Structure 1
Amino acid sequence: MTPLLALERESLGYGGRTVLSEVSLTLAIGERVVLLGRSGAGKSTLLEVAHDRMAPHTRVALVPQDQALVPQLSVLRNVMMGRLDDHGAWRNLRALIRPPAADRAGVRAVLDAVGLAPEIDRPVGQLSGGQKQRVALARAFWRGGAVLIGDEPVSAVDERQSGALLEDMRARFDTALLALHDVAMARGFATRLVGIGRGAILFDAPPAEVSDADIAALYTR
């Protein structure tokens, strides 16, 4: 079966600057791949490239690190934006001005899953950092699709809630490519761990084959 993503010895970066060299990475249907590494190691760059490569031929739900929310708009309307490319501009404008009852009910359901249903009409700019992160995740849930890409999608919520949200991600998406900062959660979620450091992929293996020493080495200079 053709993988959703296949990078073969590629150099990745931005603005003419190489961040990662000789990158080879695949993502097949049913895999949950988690990227580990220090801040600035290149995880976000790799996720951006993966999204750009897959999005033209696969429905991808994205949780970016900066959340990409519109603070002046309500939680409802921010979540609805997950499906903007399903419709034309005129329908989207009407829906954002006066959300259809079916959309409101569907959004409320995904907000309930992330614990934010009571905030459905609240402007996003009034929310806490953890709440904003959950709005971005709810937007991805509302979008749905073949694969979820998330850049530290639960970093701003507590450990108990993070675990529940990761379980919900697992249930909603057959395939996922995430960057996570919590190693224990990464081990529990992933079918493969990818370690990034020193401008390259240092390991790519099932969690059982990655030692604590391998992971510790990612966070030392």
Structure 2
Amino acid sequence: MAALEVSNLSASYGGERVLGPLSLSLAAGERVALVGQSGAGKSTLLSLLYDQAGSGTAFMPQDLGLVDTLSVFHNVYMGQLDRHSAIYSLINLLFPLQKPRGEVQTILDELGLGDKLREPTGELSGGQRQRTAVARALYQQGSMLLADEPVSALDGPLARRIMDALSRGYPTSVIALHDVDLALAYSDRVVGIQDGHIALDEPSSRLSTADLQPLY
């Protein structure tokens, strides 16, 4: 069963085509890694996929979409805004309730941000901000994850810790990754984008790092 299926997707900027046309299908329970050099069209593809996906899809763009003036708790809590009434969310904005506070704290502990719950997001480092956006996606508990370079600001061991958490939280995902070793380790299938088109689409088990190098 397809979790997401798109046909003849394309995008143009300034009258110049930058993506497609291309078609892509994602099965439920499938983890796809998008690879390719910067500017190949990965971010554009993820944005178009999000436009086509259902409302339960979690989306983590490269710009993260955080509100710097709000605390880490509030940024993470936004992952479930659509599940609660405006009054309930307003109460949590002013005086975070015990249940959501505990749920968010558990996720932050898992991501190594346990001491940042009340800290303004604008005061965090780049890697901490990225993990806050990951925490928001995990808290959302959507049916599928679309993420654009979710660990680009993190080092090796920490990047794998975050990818482990995302893999547990989202069995169905499309994640753009510049690190080809992570792409192979945390996906069932690799889709390579080159000049706005799909240049490679293979199961990860059939690929090696050398197979992906021509895309860069």
Give the TM bin, normalised by the shorter chain: over 0.9
Q: Alignment partner of 1:12: what SS?
A: strand
TM-score by length of 1: 0.92
Residue 43 (1) aligns with residue 42 (2): yes
Paired residue for 2:29? 30
Paired residue for 2:145? 148
CA distance in 2, matches of 1:173, 1:115: 19
Deviation per CA, 1:138-160, whole angstroms, max 9, x where unpaired? 00111112111110001101100
**Does structure 2 conserve the Cα–Cα contact (< 8 Å) formed by 1:13 and 1:45?**
no
Aligned residues: 216
CA distance in 2, matches of 1:159, 1:205: 25
CA distance in 1, matches of 2:210, 2:195: 16
Stretch deviating more after TM superposition (24-33 or 162-171): 162-171
Residue 132 (1) aligns with residue 125 (2): no
CA distance in 2, matches of 1:197, 1:148: 22
| 1:60 pairs with one of 57, 62, 74 | 57
Q: Alignment partner of 1:4: what SS?
A: strand
Residue 206 (1) aligns with residue 203 (2): yes
CA distance in 2, matches of 1:47, 1:215: 20
TM-score by length of 2: 0.94
CA distance in 1, matches of 2:123, 2:8: 44
Residue 117 (1) aligns with residue 135 (2): no
Per the TM alignment, residue 131 of structure 1 is displaced from its structure 2 partner at its CA by 0.3
Gapped regions of structure 1 (runs ≥ 5): none
Per the TM alignment, residue 95 of structure 1 is displaced from its structure 2 partner at its CA by 1.6
When the two chains are superposed, the root-mean-square deviation of aligned CA atoms in Å is 1.5
Equivalent AA in structure 2 for residue 72 of structure 1: T
Per the TM alignment, residue 4 of structure 1 is displaced from its structure 2 partner at its CA by 1.6
Provide the identity percentage: 44
Deviation per CA, 1:40-71, whole angstroms, max 9, x where unpaired? 11101111111111134xx1122211111111
CA distance in 1, matches of 2:212, 2:202: 12
Equivalent AA in structure 2 for residue 19 of structure 1: V
Paired residue for 2:17? 18
| 1:88 pairs with one of 68, 85, 98 | 85
